[in-house]
Amino acid sequence: MRLWTADEIAEATGGTASAAFEASGVTFDSREVGQGDLFLALKGEATDGHRYLDQAFAQGAAGALVSEPTPHPHVRVADTVLALDALGVAARGRMQGQVIGVTGSAGKTGTKEALFAALDRNAPGAAHRSVKSYNNHTGVPLSLARMPRTARYGVFEMGMNHAGELAALTRLVRPHVAIVTTIAPAHLGFFASEEAIADAKGEIFQGLEPGGTAIVPFDSPHRDRLIDAARPYAGKIVTFGLKEGADYRAVETMRTRTGATFVTARFGQRELSFTLSQPGAHWVSNAMAILAAVDAVGGDLELAGLALAELGGLAGRGARRMVPARGGEALVIDESYNANPASMRATLEVLALEKGRKLAVLGEMRELGVHSAAFHAELSGPIEAAGVDYAILVGEAMLPLAEALEGRVDFVHVPDAATALGRLDDMLQAGDAVLIKGSNGVRLGSVVAALAERAPA
């Protein structure tokens, strides 16, 4: 499928094309270049994409976006980073469908993926979303640049760790619908308070298209703050959650034999019952936001419910798999991608629902600033409430939690992921349920990968 021609790229970026070519994809990672891709030679603090031009074309690149001379087919611009923004703007400008933006302190990627599944069920092959967690100043315009001109729906995740970042991203995305999943003390090392985080997340509403819809978490203590942030920009503001008063509310939930959740949702005079494949109250809440967004863009909610029933687990964000253990197999719940106090509590609640011995491999939570010790220590209550039989605490910042757990829950405190894997290997038994979660920099994904390698294909 033709995504961009050389002339279109030159027009969008103000660059000069060296030759005619057509690109069917876009990437700035030379390792990901495939046949027919446009390779973006971005310059950063650590590397320069121009060094990888030969590699990119050897792998099948159709053309490149460059700021330096090259013999390969290219469009040359003054600054490739600015040109990427321009390409994203052009992609958004030619797309005639509905666009949804998603942000929040937790649940962004899962909500984005579930929304994509729901909209793809409504319009098979005509929905587009940002891949992985491409949610920053390069990931968002890249995701836009990859959007087919014929897309009926686009779903884009937007993240931030400083004030002002979301305002810039949302003006690139120009969503018709903007969602804030939750507000929690993630990145609190960069903000004075949780209220300041809410203000930064509320920037997403600034990019709303005229008459657009803002979707706000009703159960959040920052609900009214978010509503105030949305009011100058939104044509409509709706809320979602579990408590009475939410516009899109889960009025009844029941755990099924398979670990899924049967949900009855109410919105206005309508009700919808569906099965949510992902366990946990946080997923029930996010499902209400998904229904609100699908409704806002005119989608079929019954089809959305079917998509939620079939949604698979995401690697690093709730994927579940059986791995070999002494005497049989154990369940691993992979939440290794990232962690903050709210997501830790939510996933510990999921672990509490599992049968058998409960093990938790928990990595330190980063970017919490001066509040780090208190937030780590406060996890002792949720760990105890979840019925954790044994905890493996990973990283120096876990020391306050280790002190808080003393005499309450069996645990070991280790310095790194490799040591955690060794400890887990020593004790893993058939029937165990293991939660693995921590900030990405702790590299607990390596523990999951090591366990997965032992499992039969």
- Going from N- to C-terminal start, the domains of the chain cover 4-79, 95-310, 319-453
Between the alpha carbon of residue 330 and those of residues 164, 242, 279, 323, the distances in Å are: 44, 32, 18, 5
Residue 227 pLDDT: 98
Q: Give which of 188, 272, 177 is closest to 230, Cα–Cα.
A: 177
The CATH-assigned architecture of domain 95-310 is 3-Layer(aba) Sandwich (3.40)
Residue 350 pLDDT: 92
Dihedral of alpha carbons 203, 204, 210, 212, sign? negative
Residue 172 pLDDT: 97
Q: What is the mean pLDDT of each run of 10 residues along the chain (457 residues)?
A: 94 97 96 96 90 96 97 97 97 97 92 96 96 87 96 96 93 98 83 92 98 98 97 98 97 88 96 92 95 98 96 83 94 92 92 95 92 95 97 97 96 97 95 95 95 78
Q: Give which of 331, 338, 332 is closest to 317, Cα–Cα.
A: 338
Measure the CA–CA gap between 415 and 418, rounded to whole angstroms: 9
CATH number for the region 4-79 comes to 3.40.1390.10
Measure the CA–CA gap between 425 and 401, rounded to whole angstroms: 23
Residue 456 pLDDT: 67
- The C-alpha angle with vertex 174 and arms to 246 and 340, in degrees rounded to 5, equals 55
Helix/strand/coil for 355: coil
Measure the CA–CA gap between 446 and 132, rounded to whole angstroms: 17
199 Cβ neighbours under 8 A, 6+ residues apart: 163, 225, 229
The residues facing 432 across adjacent strands are none
Question: CB–CB of 175/212 below 8 Å?
Answer: yes
Residue 257 pLDDT: 81
For residue 278, what are its two tokens? 């992902």
Fold of 319-453: Protein-Tyrosine Phosphatase; Chain A (3.90.190)
Question: CB–CB of 391/362 below 8 Å?
Answer: yes
Between the alpha carbon of residue 321 and those of residues 308, 406, 421, 427, the distances in Å are: 19, 31, 17, 18
Question: CB–CB of 422/394 below 8 Å?
Answer: no
Between the alpha carbon of residue 68 and those of residues 74, 84, 138, 145, 359, the distances in Å are: 10, 15, 20, 21, 53
Residue 345, Cα to own-chain centre: how many angstroms?
A: 17
Residue 457 pLDDT: 56
